[in-house]
Every structure is written in structure tokens, then in C-alpha cells.
Amino acid sequence: MNSIRIIVCGAAGKMGRHIVKAVTAAADLELTGAVDIIKIGEDAGVLAGIKPTGIKITNRLQELLAAGIADVLVDFTSPLTVMDNIHCALKHRIAPVVGTTGISAEDLDQIHRWVVQYQTGAIVAPNFALGAILMMKAAQMFARYLKTVEIIEMHHDEKMDAPSGTACKTAALIHEAAGGAPPAREELEKHPGVRGGRVNGIPIHSVRLPGLVAHHEVLFGDAGQLLSIRHDALNRDCFIPGLLLAIRRAPDNKDLIYGLENFIS
């Protein structure tokens, strides 16, 4: 069986280095390109803390994609550039697997149009940690019975977007399962925004602090009781098994798949 050829976009970042290491270690995957706007010219393997791969960091994504050396583009970059990267990959019939957050519903509609236009699938996931996916599925189930809910998400202080994609996806799943938004209450915010933002009518509170990685808690309240479910990503290793699952599904996929829960029965 031929190896799946991978270009990693954002390869010099914290998550990108984990991905380079994981792809290099997998017998059925082959690292064929590494893209970033920093560390240009450095060996992607050395940056990842492994032996040299011979793959140098470049900022020329378009040239790599046009060279026909990849089956999958893995993108962990920035909300400011991710849509251009997805479009470029699909235009060259290369399947993007995207962990960059900050992708809106309007963005997903555009990605779907590109998927149809170029007849190439895309996988976009707000979170690749299997535990986080189980948390979202549990919240979806609980929402059928407990209607009042709030979400707290906490991330490292370098995360650009808020709320997190995982929190937004969780809110959407809860909204769908509950058949609508939680009951509205009259409130007086003495300081605007102190009650958080609302996604699908559900309050989401975002925390950004150094020392954090990625943490989500869903709180359900009802008369005389509180039910909480929480997922803590303590390091970036927890994202790798789910990411590899998506990478291995990507070459044969012809649709837009949003969320790793679509691969979990």
C-alpha cells in the first residue's frame, strides 16, 4: 500500500512540530512538505526534536501544492490565513485536514462550495482530542433532559480567536439536541459582556492565560442539581490519535466533514 503523502502547514508552530513528529513515525504516512512563515530553511524534523527529515521549512505553499507531492494538507495555522490555504489545497485536488479554529458558519458554506467545485473532500475539526469529542457527544445527550446550560472554555494566551471552535461546536450540538435555545432570563449586566458571549443562545465564557493548553467545561443546571462535564487537554499529544484518524480518512473522502464525531459511532 502506498503511503499517504502529507504537507504540514504551520509546521514550525507548537502543534505543527507534534504533527511532523507523528507523521514521520507512522509507517503509512510520508512527510513531503513543511510550510510556515518562521524558521524558513530549517529541517522540519530537527525542529520537531527528531532526526533530520530532509524536509526544509518553506513559506511557498502554492509551489508545494502545485508540485503534486501531496495527498493531504494538514493545516494548523491562523484564522487569518486558513481559508486561503484550504482553497489552495482544494484547487490542486489535495484534501485539507484542518485543525485551525476561528472558522465561521459562513466559512464552512464557502468550503462546501469549493468541495463541490473541485470534487475533493475536506475535513475540518474544532478539536481532535477523542476525549473532547466524547464530551461534546455527552453534552448533546444531556441537553435533551437539562435545558439550562453554560460553557466555560480556557486556553493558552496565544490563542487568537474566542470563543473556541470546540465551545461553538458544543453549543451547536446542544441547541440541536434541545430543540432550541435555553429559556431566556432578564438580566442586568453592570459591565457589558460580563455574562459572556452567546452562541445559539448559550452563554460561553472564554479565559486566556499562560500555562493553559485547552480546557472545556459544560455546566447543566436544574432545580436542586448541577451536572458538569469537563475535558482537559494537558498537552498536545492528546490531539494526535484523532488527527491521524482524519488524515487516513481524507484521501477517499469526497465531502465536507465538520467535526471528528462523524468518525465515532
Bridge-based pairing of strands 57-58 and 214-222 is unpaired
Sign of CA dihedral 140, 141, 142, 144: positive
To the query of whether residue 91 is one of the catalytic residues in this protein, the response is: no
Give yes or no: 155 in active site: yes
Q: Taking a C-beta distance cutoff of 8 angstroms, is the pair 194, 144 a contact? A: no
Q: Out of 155, 169, 175, 205, pick the active-site residue.
A: 155
Query: Half-sphere exposure of 29 toward its Cβ, with a 13 Å CA cutoff?
Result: 25
**Residue 60 CB neighbours (<10 A):** 12
Cell 470534487, located at residue:
119
Whether the bond into 163 is cis, omega within 30 of 0 = yes
Q: How far apart are CA 37 and CA 150, in angstroms?
A: 37
The CA radius of gyration of the chain, in Å to the nearest whole number, is 19
Q: What are phi and psi of 75, to 5 degrees?
A: -120, 115
Which residues carry out catalysis?
155, 159
